[in-house]
Every structure is written in structure tokens, then in C-alpha cells.
Structure 1
């Protein structure tokens, strides 16, 4: 088989959810937006349901509709993007709960679906989604009289626990919501790790479930094994790949493996990242191209049919750092060409 194998460990996903849930005394939901951070929202959500998750978050209504078909009628599915124009039938038919972000969305929802569940998102300083303080003051009485299911906000700097923005947003959220008789949510993965002050009534981890930072103790969920297409001898002084960016400083053996930037392995990672032959670290050399990557396997004593890029030896965040990006981008970019293998006890 010439395509790489992306193995997704659903037991590890559950382990991470349980570990984050154990850090709180309130219910823990799960964020499965962007197709479960690229790993398959349907499979991830069904596994998490077996572990006890009954509330999910997605980005947009279309994701919510697909998730509803995968998980059935029982879980709550909240939509961060709220109630957009054209979403009404989907919200109703698929039993989705929009987190309303603006006065326009509130009006749209109350007029179109007056009895339908909803939540409210408040902006506490991120300036991305949610009602600003003055808007909330103007509509809070009306909104609260209709019994929202949740009032939430989102932390901008939770991956930096000491950042002054965190207590600032916490104070704003408390000022806007203390005394309301509605469940509140502020913490995603980073907020959970910062402690109980941020937990309120519901937490909603995302990237930490899938093995990403800032959850340092996360169990790896993904591994990526890439087939070796060809191994060649390269003499000292010869070059490898586009633009002659790598020149052999010794007689070398070079493996060409079957993956590239079309598979989400970002070109910028280039020679900053390694792959592994069992325990042996093998540097990527030359340019990452669309379908192929070249690797120095001179120090590997025997030929390997596959080499590992992601797994126990190297996390998505390590690969992301090599590419000058974040683990979220690596996860959500993992390509459609991979053979996806799900494993679970």
C-alpha cells in the first residue's frame, strides 16, 4: 500500500477526556468541531459517548447536523457559530442548540424558533464572537426570561497560564454573569488546567482530548506510519530534492516516503523535523514536496517498509513547532489520502 496509515486510538481519546474530567467537579463536554480536529467527529463522539459524554460542541450548524446523524437523538449538540441565516430548519430538525453571538442572532432565533433551546456567548475581551458588555446589558433581562441553556465565553490566552488576560477575562465573565440562574461555561482545555476558578458549571475540552498542548500529560491519540517507496545510495557531494537544498556530506542512503504537503505535512517543517525507524531518529532532508518526503536513513542498519512521523516518539506539537505553527493546524490538516485505522478495546 502506497498511502500512509493514520492510526487513531479511541481508547487514548477516552483516557484524555477522563483525565480532564477528573480535574473538575462539574460536567465535562467535548468539542468535536472540524471533524473532530481532523480525526473523525463521528467515531470520536461515539467513543466519548461510551465514556459518558452527553454534550458536544461544534463550530457550525452543518457540522452539528452531520454529528446528529452519527450519534442519534440523545446528546446535546451546541453550535459555537450560533444561528446564522438559513440555519433555522437545520436547528429545528437536527435538535441543535445555537450559542447566540449577536443581537441579530437573538432576534433571528426568537422570531423563527421561539420555543427552541439556545445559549448565549459573551465577549469578555477576545473580540471574536459574542455579545459585548453594553449589548448584554441591553438584552440580558429579555434573554434570561427565555431560559437559555448556557451562558459562555472563551479565553484568549489559556495556553499561557500566567498571562494577565486570563484573570482579566475571568473577572469580566463573573461581573457579567454572577447571580444569573443559568449554567455557565468558560473553560476549554487550558481553562480546565488553570483550576476551579475557571470551571463554573460546564467545561468543554477540545485539543487536549486529541493529545495536543497545553495538556502536557495527554496520551498520544494519533500515529502516522508512512511507506518507504524507494531507498537509494547518494554519494558525498550529491544533492537531494527540489532546489538542491540538501547536499550529502558523506556517502548516504536516502529513503523516499509516500506523503507530503498534500497530506497536511506542511512544507515549512522541512529539515526541522525527523521521522523514526523504531527507536532510530532519521532526519528529513531536502524540501517537503506535494507527495513525497526524503529522509536520511544512513544510520539505520536494516531496511524498513515504513517510517513513523507521529506517535510515541514525536507529537503533533513537535511537528507543528518544526513547521512554525500549532498542533491544531497539524491535526486538522491531516490528509484525506491516509488510510485511517481506528483502534479501541
Structure 2
């Protein structure tokens, strides 16, 4: 830790916007699409829409995707001239709110399409929207059959559809036949809409030629997640989470630590306590599985991850490095997002999007 231990909170979350921008450039190169967008939902995967979106705009990104209208409004303030699509459907009666902020709904049902088309007619201005066709996820979107049947319907033009999209199920799984099936189904639908731009590739899909279309829309990989599990991560790390040690103590064999005494010392051990916990988005499921780096030494969590505190076994760390305020690294270096996710019995996506607002946040660019 090159800066003093934070005093407003026990943890410091450093977000490297230069790395974020470099990752977008890298993904744009890999995807070889005419345009590369950025998915900034979940508060830019925990990194902050208000900081991430302008950084990506400066790098050349002109199209953004969010999940909810509330996120879209924040994005609109951050990047006033961008094209902003809202992924999670189109709630009834929300057309005025979308139109007031110049936002583009992603339409996935005939009712949604009809309502947006009606709003266009009522205003006398055709505002754009995307059409979502489901090719295998079975969450949102028209079925392939519905998408094909709709292709010649005048309502498509009335709804201002300017983008055809679908969502990949398991592009990160190498040689998954479902990905090939989805690409083939999407190609069928795309052929029925020859005048529309198309978007299929997510972060992992950027690396799959069959999934490349007109607009790539990476998300997780932008923020340092590995889009190719099992291979070396081609992305630069964006987030780094550190915490200062609050207190160090020695315990004898048989002593317990944490709530419900779930850990018992197998011998004389040295323990250190950090000031962060599940209220900060570090999952309780990391109990007995998580670890931190102290002076480069991997130190396992002991006891239960509690709301505001985590206990480490620092017995193997040189005693000189265990001063009060000494840094412990929870995300960064050898503890990348995907490793931290596995250690907590989850995925790096959940770790990243759960990062709390209590941390002292430092942005670097």
C-alpha cells in the first residue's frame, strides 16, 4: 500500500480507469466489429457509472448498455451525447421517462414493441429502440419464430428498431455446442432484418468469430474479468482492494475465533483483524475459504466473515510486517477477481458487482 491506511473506512478500493480504457481498446481490436459498445450496468460493475462512462467515452466508446432506467439516467448525465440502451425490458407506461432522457429501450415482446411504436406516433418523432430475440437463454426477448414472423410487420419501422440483439448463454465455455446453435439461430433472424445492425458478442463472444456482428457489447472483461476461463487473462486488472490491519493477537491451541466459534486454532497462531466484511460486499460465503495477501504471504480467513470484520491467520507472515495499519490485499496481484470468486464459492462477477460504497474509493487515470 503506497498511501496511508484510510481513516474514513478500513478498506480502500482503487479503480484504474486507464486499465479500463485499455481493456476497451483491446476488446475492440479482438472483436473486429465496426463498433464496440460498453456494458455499464450494475453501476459499471461496481466501478461507478459516473466515472467509468466518461472515461470510456474519451477513449471512443459511443454506445452503452445498462439494465435499468435508473442507471440509464445516471449514464445520460455522465455521457450526454451517447446512445444508451436499457436491457431489462420496457415497463408499461415508462415511454415518457425514456423519451425525456433520450434513452433507447430494448424491446422483447409484441406488447413492448406496440407501446413504443404508439409513443413514436403520438409524439410524431420516431425514437430508436433495440429488438431482443431470444436464441436460448429463455429469460427475455421474442422467440426466434416470433422474431422471424415480425420481420415484415410495419410496426418494426414504427418502433424505430435500429438494433437486433440476442444474449449468449455460455460463450465462456470453450467449444460449447449451444454457442454455435445460438450463432446459427441469430444468423437466421438477422437475415430477415437486412437493414438492421446486429449485436451478439459479449466479453467472451468477442473472441469467437461466429459471434461477431456489427456491434460488440463487452461487460465483465472491461473491468478485468477473464473472458477466457482456463487461459491466461488478456485483460488488465481494474480494481484493487486493500485494508489496513486493525489489531494483531496470538492465540493458543484450542482457542476459537469469530461468531459461533467455527474455527479452532490447531496450535499457537497469530491472528489479524481487518475492518471490512459482508456489509462491504465481501461475501460471507468466503468464510473458511477466502484469503488475503499480507507482505506477499497468502493468509487464510479464519472464523466467520462478519458484517464489518474479517480475521486472518497471519502466522506465516514475518512479525516485522504485522504492525498496526499494515496493508492486507484482498483483490489484486495473485488474487484476481476470478480467484477471489472461486475462493468464495461464487464468480468474479458477483464479487465485482457487490463492492460496497463504504470503501474509500480512489480513481486513477
Q: TM-score, normalised by structure 2?
A: 0.90
Post-superposition offset of 1:143: 4.2
Post-superposition offset of 1:99: 1.4
Does the residue aligned with 1:48 lie in a helix, a strand or coil?
helix
List runs of 5+ in structure 1 lacking aligned partners: none
Whether 2:331 is the aligned partner of 1:310: answer yes
1:75 aligned partner = 82
Post-superposition offset of 1:21: 0.7
Whether contact under 8 Å (1:31, 1:56) holds in the other structure is: yes
- Give 1:186's match in structure 2, choosing from 200, 222, 228: 200
Whether contact under 8 Å (1:65, 1:90) holds in the other structure is: no
Whether 2:351 is the aligned partner of 1:330: answer yes
Cα deviation, 1:286-331, whole Å, max 9, x if unaligned, reads: 1111111100112222224221100112012111111211111111
2:168 aligned partner = 155
Write the distance in 1 (CA, Å) between the matches of 2:131 and 2:268: 63
1:55 aligned partner = 63
Whether 2:179 is the aligned partner of 1:166: answer yes
- Give 2:257's match in structure 1, choosing from 230, 234, 240: 240
Does the residue aligned with 2:113 lie in a helix, a strand or coil?
helix
Post-superposition offset of 1:132: 0.9
Task: Give the number of aligned pairs.
Answer: 342
Q: TM-score, normalised by structure 1?
A: 0.95
2:15 aligned partner = 8
Cα deviation, 1:162-185, whole Å, max 9, x if unaligned, reads: 111000001101111115111000
The structure-2 alpha-carbon separation of the partners of 1:81 and 1:153, relative to structure 1 and needing over 3 Å to count, comes to: same
Whether 2:290 is the aligned partner of 1:279: answer no
Whether 2:51 is the aligned partner of 1:43: answer yes
- Give 2:138's match in structure 1, choosing from 109, 113, 127: 127
2:96 aligned partner = 89
Cα deviation, 1:88-135, whole Å, max 9, x if unaligned, reads: 122111111111110010011001124111110101111111111232
Post-superposition offset of 1:81: 2.0
List runs of 5+ in structure 2 lacking aligned partners: 1-6
Cα deviation, 1:258-279, whole Å, max 9, x if unaligned, reads: 0111111111111212101131
* CA RMSD between the two structures: 1.4
Whether contact under 8 Å (2:105, 2:129) holds in the other structure is: yes
1:340 aligned partner = 361
Does the residue aligned with 1:184 lie in a helix, a strand or coil?
strand
Whether contact under 8 Å (2:89, 2:140) holds in the other structure is: no
Write the distance in 2 (CA, Å) between the matches of 1:145 and 1:219: 41
